Amino acid sequence: MSLLQISEPGQAPEPHQQKRAVGIDLGTTNSLVATVRSGSTDTLTDLEGRHILPSVVRYTESGIEVGHEAWAHAVEDSLNTIVSVKRLMGRGLKDVSTLGGVLPYQFAESESRMPLIQTRKGAFSPVEISAEILRTLAERASESLGGELDGAVITVPAYFDDGQRQATKDAARLAGINVYRLLNEPTAAAVAYGLDEGAEGVIAVYDLGGGTFDISVLRLNKGVFEVMATGGDSALGGDDFDKVLAGWILDQAGIGHDALESGSHRAVMVEARRAKEALTDNDTVSVSHGDWSGEVTKALFNELVEPLVTKTLRSFKRALRDGGVKARDLQEVVMVGGSTRVPLVRDKVAELAGKEPLTSIDPDRVVAMGAARQANALAGNKSADEMLLLDVIPLSLGLETMGGLMEKVIHRNTTIPVSRAQEFTTYKDGQTAMAVQVLQGERELVNDNRSLARFELRGIPPLPAGSAKIRVTFQVDADGLLSVSAEELSTGVSSSVVVKPSYGLSDDEITRMLRDSQTSAASDRDARKLREQEVEADRLGEALAVALDTDGKALLSEEEFSALVSDLRNLKSVRGSGDADAIKVEIERVAKASDAFAARRMNQGIRNALSGHKIDEFKES
């Protein structure tokens, strides 16, 4: 999620200084780790030559098992064997209760907002459990690469919100992994196919995994993937294929379906999954459950899962509609996830897209491989002119307004490139110059944010306060460079600066800034409210003082004059009280008291302006 300066031009390290950088696909069902070695990208295997690490963690009497070992006990030790923990990442207790039917765990009572899963070894949070998976992969990688890892890119679903992304980062930190950045899974898959280096255009990434279906429509523009639309179904995947097949098996064996729903019947699910995977390359497969044994054909399997596949196609079409794209406009469709091996899935997607989807890279490994390429680039292992892929801004960008307040112009997590304009006005009568301070951060007060640059707009025509129109435009290009320009609209005078918003800001600093903004949200709001009232009081006070000075004697009776002078004095003293509500009340009172005076000044102003002119001159406008 971060916008990092990757390496200075011409400073790519020598080959012997190559950093140990990996990409990690932290999946719901399976996880993998990959790296780039001598220019080629590969997933790393365990000692037995297996690429995939099942995302399963089991708490045993003697310790912790992760992966195949844990998966092997999922049936008999289901309460201590945690599967699909990704579904709980960054979720509150409330969200989790709705997953109760899907996940058979006991959730522990806890003070924290995070759900804790009760096991024989204690209660663990999803972050801790995910950390075990990440740690196992990181150890595999550092053994294979011969040393400590320098950093990793970890993938997350495109729809993951802040909380889910943050939880993923926390898990990595717990596992002792330096996270270069999180990368959207569909973007990673597209990068694995090298689409970031290809022609610009729109692509779709169809990801059918074990428990989830994600469809993403991305637009590639100058090496940057912009997410145009995402969709899918968080409760639809290969597991559901298993379930319908398991249901069929139970029917054949003359056993009721109730067991399936309770989640206690993992044995028939395991058998169904085995059969399903075998059917990808075989037309007939034998199956057994308990005393029963029989055969299942590909044709029968297709019939069973067809409604599920059709459901994914509906989501696909909806995402295309949301993105404003026609199926025939798709440049490529990338297939991701183990379940896209099912021949029926491939056929149906090809039919919808009107072209063969990309399947040449193993759909289990493609996300990890793309992440590895990205990690390699972020580590500075590639030369500077190669891929630099930035998709969102990590912190909001804005500018200082009166009273030391931060006004956000581009909010964090906005996809780049992006351009946003906002109009501002002058604070004082006759103001001819304006200082623009460019800020980065989430806090309300200028001083709590980072100042990126400062420049001035001069030559604003002298107009009454609030009449000049100044448009400030923020633009972040595909390289993450921010330029800010300010233009006075009636005269066209303008001024601008170019800044590198992220330069020197580490991921940790970004995290800290975000954390600060969350913990200080309430006090920030109060501070902002007070500053706004103080600014308004100053503005009114100054305007009234000037008005009394120039026209007070001429337009007011002596009583009126001294009443307003004392109003002004009151306003100034309440202004210093630090009480936003009191200041507001006083502002309203003084504004009302000076209404009549303001009206007389306006009439006189018009008369003065008209004197010496023929009325005709003004008829046109």
Smallest distance, Mg ion to C-beta of residue 75, A = 23
The CB density around residue 243, as the number of other CB atoms within 10 Å, is: 20
Residue of 132, 150, 185, 242 marked active site: 185
Nearest to 313 by CA among 357, 367, 279, 248: 357
Pick between residue 67 and residue 209 the one whose CB is nearest to Mg ion. Answer: 209
Pick between residue 241 and residue 424 the one whose CB is nearest to ligand ADP. Answer: 241
Residue 444 CA to residue 270 CA, distance in Å, equals: 53
Residue 161 CA to residue 208 CA, distance in Å, equals: 20
Q: Which does 342 bind (CB under 5 to 8 A by kind): ligand ADP, Mg ion, none?
A: ligand ADP
Buried b (16+ CB within 10 A) or exposed e, 434-448: bebbbbbbbbbbbeb
Maximum distance among all Cα pairs of the chain, rounded to whole angstroms? 110
Q: Which does 302 bind (CB under 5 to 8 A by kind): Mg ion, ligand ADP, none?
A: none
Helix (H) or strand (E) holding 408: strand 405-410
Nearest to 500 by CA among 438, 411, 410, 455: 438
Pick between residue 1 and residue 156 the one whose CB is nearest to ligand ADP. Answer: 156
Pick between residue 212 and residue 594 the one whose CB is nearest to ligand ADP. Answer: 212
Q: Which does 323 bind (CB under 5 to 8 A by kind): ligand ADP, Mg ion, none?
A: none
Smallest distance, ligand ADP to C-beta of residue 493, A = 55
Q: By CB under 6 A, tell whether 415 contacts ligand ADP.
A: no
Instruction: Write down the H helix ranges in 452-557.
Output: 507-519, 521-547, 553-555
Q: What are phi and psi of 29, to 5 degrees?
A: -100, -50
Pick between residue 29 and residue 119 the one whose CB is nearest to ligand ADP. Answer: 29
With contact defined as beta carbons under 8 Å apart, do 31 and 55 qualify? yes
Residue 258 CB contacts under 8 Å (≥ 6 apart), including other chains: none
Residue 376 CA to residue 154 CA, distance in Å, equals: 12
Token readout for 534 is 């103080």
Q: By CB under 6 A, tell whether 234 contacts ligand ADP.
A: no
Q: By CB under 6 A, tell whether 341 contacts ligand ADP.
A: yes
Contact segment (CB under 5 A) with Mg ion among 56-64, 208-216, 318-326, 535-543 equals 208-216
Q: By CB under 5 A, tell whether 211 contacts Mg ion.
A: no
Contact segment (CB under 5 A) with Mg ion among 21-29, 295-303, 427-435, 482-490 equals 21-29
Q: By CB under 6 A, tell whether 165 contacts ligand ADP.
A: no
Residue of 65, 86, 233, 239 marked active site: 86
Residue 25 a catalytic site member: yes
Q: Which does 232 bind (CB under 5 to 8 A by kind): Mg ion, ligand ADP, none?
A: none
For the packed helices 266-279 and 298-323, what is the interaxial angle rounded to 10 degrees? Answer: 90
Q: By CB under 6 A, tell whether 337 contacts ligand ADP.
A: yes
Q: Work out which of 209, 232, 370, 501 binds Mg ion, going by CB under 5 A.
A: 209
Residue 86 a catalytic site member: yes
Catalytic positions, written as ranges: 25, 86, 185, 207
Residues in touch with Mg ion (CB under 5 A)? 27, 209
Q: Can you give the binding site for ligand ADP, defined by CB under 6 A? A: 27-30, 209-212, 237-239, 273, 276-277, 280, 337-339, 341-342, 364
